[in-house]
Amino acid sequence: MSNQTVKPAEGKLGIMVVGCGAVATTLMTGVLMARKGLAKPVGSMTQYDKIRVGRGAEKRYLAYGDIVPLASLDDIVFGTWDVYPQSAYQAAMYAQVLQEKDINPVRDELEQIVPMKAAFDKNYAKRLDGDNVKVNAAGKMPTRWEMVEALREDIRTFKQKNGCCRLVVIWAASTEIYVPVDLSVHGSLKDLEAAMKADDRQRVAPSMCYAYAALTEGVPFIMGAPNTTVDIPAMWELAERQRVPIAGKDFKTGQTLVKSGFAPIIGTRCLGLNGWFSTNILGNRDGLVLDEPDNFHTKEVSKLSTLETILKPEVQPDLYTDYFHKVRINYYPPRGDNKEGWDNIDIFGWMGYPMQIKINFLCRDSILAAPLALDLCLLTDLAARAGRYGTQRFLSFFLKNPMHDYTKGEEAVNNLYQQYTMLKNALREMGGYEADEEID
C-alpha cells in the first residue's frame, strides 16, 4: 500500500537493535565514525548508489537521498537488547571485527549504549549463556505475553527518553531453533495472541514477541535472521492493522548474495545444472549458535530456497530437473567473523558435457551485514513515512528470504537483478517519478 506524499525525515530516528553482538556493534561503530568523517559507509546503497530517474532528455542519475527524503546519519540514535550486559564498546572490542583504532574515536558514545534486558528463552539458543535477561515478578522466565508487555514498555521508554520522532526495530541476534509454521497458531492475529497469553513456548518464539511488541507500538520491524517471526499470516494481519511496514528475513550478505547473482548467469545462458554444493566456515557467535542442529535447520531452510526460485524445472525441464542442492555451515573458531564460503557448481552444456565452476568468497560477515542493516532501517523508515504498510517486497534485494504470501501460492523473487529493479521502481515511485523499469 502507498500514497505519493512522503513525510520529511524530521527529528531523531531511533534504531533499536535486538542483539548487541558483532553485526550490531559494527553497524553502530561505522555510523558513529562516518558521521565524524572518520570512516566511509562503503557497501551502503543508501549512501552510495545512484539510479536513473526519467527518460530521454529528462534522464538523470541521482543518489537515493536526492530522490526521496532519507533520515540523515546525524539523526540516528541507537538502542539495543542483549543477553549479555556489556556496553556496545565492550561488545565491539569482544567481537574483534574492527580494530581498536577504528572503535576508540567513538568510545564515549558506544559506552553509553547499554543493552536492555533481553526477552530470552534458552531453549531457542542453547549455546548462549547470558544473564541480562527479563524475569517476571516471581523471578522466573516471563510468559510470552509478559515478554510482549515488557518489550512494549522498553520501546516507549526508549523513544521518550531519547526524544525520537520515529523508531525502527531490527533483529541482529542469533538464529533461533526452527519453528514450523502452524496455521492454527500463526494463521491469524487472534490465534497468535491467544497462544502468547497461553504461554505456548513451542510455537511462539521470543523473536515473535519482539515483532509483535514493535508492530503494536506502530514501529516497523526487520528480521535479520532466518527465524520464523514476521513471515506468518498473523504478523501480516498485525502490520496491516497497525499500518506499519515489514520486510522479509535473513540478511543477504555473503554466499546467498553470490548465489542470487550467479544463478541468473547460468539461467540466462541456458546452461544446465547438476548440483550446487555450498559450505561455509565461521567462528563468531553466530557460528557457535548454528553449530546446534536445530538452529542450523532454520538457516538451512532459508539458504536453500534461493536457488529453487531462480532455476526452475517447470520452466526448463531439460536444464534444471533433479539438480542436487546442499548447504552446510561449519563452526570453526579460529576464523572468528571472517567467514569463508565455498561453492562448487556442477553445470553441463552443449550435448550434455559437464563443466564446473568454483567460487571461494573470503568475506567478513559483519562488514557485509552492517551497511545492509543500515539500508534496511533507512528504507523501512522511508516506507513508513510514505504511508506504505504490510510487506515491502521492494526490500527483497537485502534479504535471503523475501516475504511472500505462501498461503496463496506466491513465490518469492530471488533473482538479484529483478530484486534491484523492484527496489529502483519503489524509490522512483516514492520520489514522484515514473516507476518505469519492467521486471522480466
| Residue pLDDT, tens place only, 11-23 | 999 999 999 999 9
> What is the rounded distance in angstroms from the CA atom of residue 228 to the CA atom of residue 153?
24
Residue 400 near residue 306, CB atoms below 8 Å: yes
> What is the rounded distance in angstroms from the CA atom of residue 204 to the CA atom of residue 180?
10
* Grid cell of 51 as nine digits: 539510479
Evaluate if residue 246 carries a pLDDT over 60. yes
Structure confidence at residue 295 (pLDDT): 83
Structure confidence at residue 290 (pLDDT): 78
Per-residue pLDDT averaged across 191-198, rounded?
Answer: 98
Structure confidence at residue 262 (pLDDT): 95
Per-residue pLDDT averaged across 187-191, rounded?
Answer: 98
* Grid cell of 166 as nine digits: 520515529
Return the residue matching grid coordinates 565461521.
282
Lowest mean pLDDT among 56-65, 123-132, 145-154: 123-132
Evaluate if residue 439 carries a pLDDT over 50. yes
Residue 26 near residue 89, CB atoms below 8 Å: no
> What is the rounded distance in angstroms from the CA atom of residue 105 to the CA atom of residue 100?
9
The CATH code that applies to domain 12-252+366-430 is 3.40.50.720
Residue 62 near residue 85, CB atoms below 8 Å: no
DSSP summary character for residue 122? G
Evaluate if residue 78 carries a pLDDT over 70. yes
Structure confidence at residue 3 (pLDDT): 42
At 415 the three-state DSSP class reads: coil
258-262, 288-292, 333-337, 381-385: range with highest mean pLDDT: 381-385
pLDDT one-digit tens code per residue, 200-237? 999 999 999 999 999 999 999 999 999 999 999 999 99
- Can you say whether residue 165 is alpha, beta or left, with left for phi > 0 and alpha for psi between -120 and 50 degrees? alpha
Extents of the domains making up the chain: 12-252+366-430, 255-362
**Banded pLDDT at 355 (limits 50, 70, 90):** very high
Closest Cα partner for 319 from 396, 267, 359?
267
- Can you say whether residue 245 is alpha, beta or left, with left for phi > 0 and alpha for psi between -120 and 50 degrees? beta
pLDDT one-digit tens code per residue, 374-420? 999 999 999 999 999 999 999 999 999 888 888 898 888 999 999 99
Structure confidence at residue 4 (pLDDT): 58
**Domain 255-362: which CATH class?**
alpha beta
- What's phi and psi for 319, nearest 5 deg? -105, -35
Per-residue pLDDT averaged across 140-146, rounded?
Answer: 96
Per-residue pLDDT averaged across 412-439, rounded?
Answer: 95
Helix (H) or strand (E) holding 421: helix 416-430
At 109 the three-state DSSP class reads: helix
pLDDT one-digit tens code per residue, 297-354? 877 777 677 898 899 999 999 999 999 999 998 999 998 889 899 999 999 999 999 9
CA angle 266–270–274, rounded 5-degree value: 60
Evaluate if residue 2 carries a pLDDT over 90. no
Return the residue matching grid coordinates 550434455.
352
Evaluate if residue 368 carries a pLDDT over 90. yes
